[in-house]
Amino acid sequence: MSPFVKASDSRFLFALIDSRMMAEKDGRNAKTGFAFSPVAGRVRQVIWLEGHGTIEMERSRDVLAAGTVVTLPENSVAGVKIREQRGGGVSARACAMELVWGEGLAGGYADFLAKTFGKIVHLPGRSPVLRIARELAQSIHAGGRRGVEADSMKFFSWFLHLHLALLRLQPHVDELAEGRLETLFQEGERHGYSIKGLAACLGCKTAFLEKRLRQAWDAPVGRVLRELRVCHASRLLAETRLPLEHVARQCGFASVPSFSFAFKRGSGLTPAEARAKKFCHPSPLPLSGVPAHTKISSILTDTKSKKSAMAWAYASSMPVVVWTGPYFQFDGGVITGTYKAPFELALNAVTDSVNWILTLKGEAVFEVAGRKLHVEPGMVLVYPQPLNARWTTPSGHPWQRIWVAMRGEWATEAMLALADEHGWAHRIPLGSRVARLARKWLPGWVQHRHEFLPETSVAAYEWLLSWRGLLQGGNLKRRGEAVVERIEMPNLRDFGSRSFFRRIKSIRSYAEEIGYSRSHLSRKLRQQWGKGHRMPGQVIRAQRLNQAAVELRQTRLSVEEIAQRAQFASAKCFIPAFKREFGMTPLAWRFAHGQTFFA
């Protein structure tokens, strides 16, 4: 199949390079199955749509069923072969879809999901994601393409729904404490029933998790995990026809002899006897201790409800933070006002961003490298921030503009690439689709700028595609409207400055770097930021702590690593500072507010 989009467009589009459907009916070719050869530089996904089977990859074997998604990394040298299982009432039909993603957004998202959740993931058979996958397969192979942008939105929707489904399957410490067997079996299989592996998955220290689970389960954690292995093995033996080596591997045993010995010691039966009798070992959970309805977050936080309420109230007004992972993060607003003094773009950026400014009414002057651009209604200016440039309003009349700020790697790289190709300044119709979409989505972007919501990310990506389409001239030419006029500007990348974000430790060090005194810099920052009674140093510190709070939820980084990224000398300095800001320790925050790991 020919590529759906050019490889050069993969910076802006979710590019599907190739795809194929594979099916076996009535046991034909069951001995050979489906073979996958390495594709240089491409990430592939294999989505199992129907039937059962096994997959052999990198000297490992796993069961396949409807809802299994396998990611094959780029330049993978390991061959993959899928064989259909026979006997035991297993379906004689197997159907799978292979998708070969282009580099850039699509390949990056697929690779991210594989690194975060594993190369092989198993979704429930009735998961809505499986229905979306089947619809995607029908759409691709029925030739129902509506254009590269529409296809790109469709592929982005697939990734986003898969991502959200995998996030919902992620274990939370509450689920482990309450003894939910399906969660425990799933995580035990992934981590070999190791408390160390579970702690790494949850992003905390082994001793910390062991103490909390022992308190919740009211029993030694190691003993409970050993009994869970036997319980899990007995279920697999009774309910499936998997070979013993496969059952042993799924339950964390290195070999069949060690599995047989441990199983007989725990259940009194050999694996063969247990399978013949369909024996199911009783679960060691739930145990006495914490009731099933009690959340372990109440044990972990150990704080008054007033403090927790204060933390959430503060989170709603916290400084801007940057989300980690595959996410289009936008905010901004429709702003009207004048500048009494030059607005220095080099001083106003706590985080890195790319800004899109469309003037609606009035005028302003943009100064960079000795050049002045008089901005009038209908003019758009794109610039990275921080930037050694300034805004002024010499006329003294109100200047009304739409301001869209893009943060995070995906959005900023795409916008900078568009600026490199099409220029930094343009004149566009005020009634263009990109302006209408900005007005439509800005309230939601601002309201939910501290939340991971798929709707805001999809809306941001739709806006980005509309801006790209406008620059290419396709939408306007079809309607017979005016063509976008490019205004020549120097390459603004050459005038970038350093932001405070994870780079500058203090106001004093930044003042020395740019040649200001500390008092003069503090005065200018306080004038521009307008943060009320907070001094600039306090604003920077609050931003770092709020960024740390987001990373505690988004990542599996340890507290020590997050403290280092937040410019603290050590975790001993970071923990009390975090507790003063949020009313609880970092780990208590991580567990009390739920985890949505992105990396």
CATH number of domain containing 522: 1.10.10.60
Q: 441 and 522: one domain?
A: no
Write down which residue in 495, 527, 547 finishes a domain. 495
Domain count, the chain: 4
Beta bridge partners of 381: 357, 425
Q: Is the domain of 418 the same as that of 461?
A: yes
Distance of CA 530 to the CA centre of its chain: 32
Whether 465 is covered by a domain: the verdict is: yes
Q: 479 with 515, same domain?
A: no
Q: Do 123 and 210 have their domain in common?
A: no
**What pLDDT is attached to residue 426?**
94
Report the chain's terminal Cα–Cα distance, integer Å. 33
What CATH number has the domain bearing residue 163? 2.60.120.10
Task: Answer yes or no: do 180 and 164 share one domain.
Answer: no
- How far apart are the C-alpha atoms of 43 and 76, rounded to whole Å? 9
Contacts of 53 (CB under 8 A, 6+ apart): 33, 63, 64, 82, 83, 84, 85, 94
Task: Please check whether residues 154 and 236 belong to one and the same domain.
Answer: no
Tell me the Cα Rg of the chain.
Answer: 28
How far is residue 100's CA from residue 97's CA, in Å, rounded to a whole number? Answer: 10
Quick one: which H or E segment has residue 23?
Answer: strand 16-24
Residues 278 and 351 in one domain: no
Residue 255's domain comprises 173-298
Is 344 a domain residue?
yes
Find out whether 149 and 465 touch, Cβ atoms under 8 Å.
yes
Does residue 142 form part of some domain? Answer: yes
pLDDT in tens, 575-599: 999 998 888 888 888 877 655 544 4
Contact 107, 74 (CB under 8 A): yes
What is the distance between the alpha carbons of residues 580 and 53, in angstroms, rounded to a whole number? 54
Is residue 359 located within the same domain as residue 425? yes
The pLDDT tens digits of the residues spanning 246-287 come to: 888 878 787 888 888 888 888 888 888 888 888 877 776 654
Instruction: From 256, 279, 298, give the residue that closes a domain.
Output: 298
Q: Is the pLDDT of residue 1 over 80?
A: no
Shared domain for 25 and 119, answered yes or no, is yes
Q: Is the pLDDT of residue 22 over 80?
A: no
Range 410-427 average pLDDT: 90
Instruction: Please state, in angstroms and rounded to a whole number, the distance separating the CA atoms of residues 357 and 340.
Output: 19
Q: How confident is the model at residue 183 (pLDDT cuts 50, 70, 90)?
A: low
On whether residue 307 sits in a domain, the answer given is no
Same domain, 472 and 565: no
pLDDT per residue as tens digits for the range 352-396: 889 999 999 999 999 998 899 999 999 999 999 888 899 999 988
309 within domain boundaries: no
Asked whether residue 99 falls in the same domain as residue 17, the answer is: yes
Sort 450 into a burial class: Cβ within 10 Å, 0-12 / 13-18 / 19+: middle
Does 533 share its domain with 555?
yes
Domain final residue, candidates 450, 469, 495 = 495
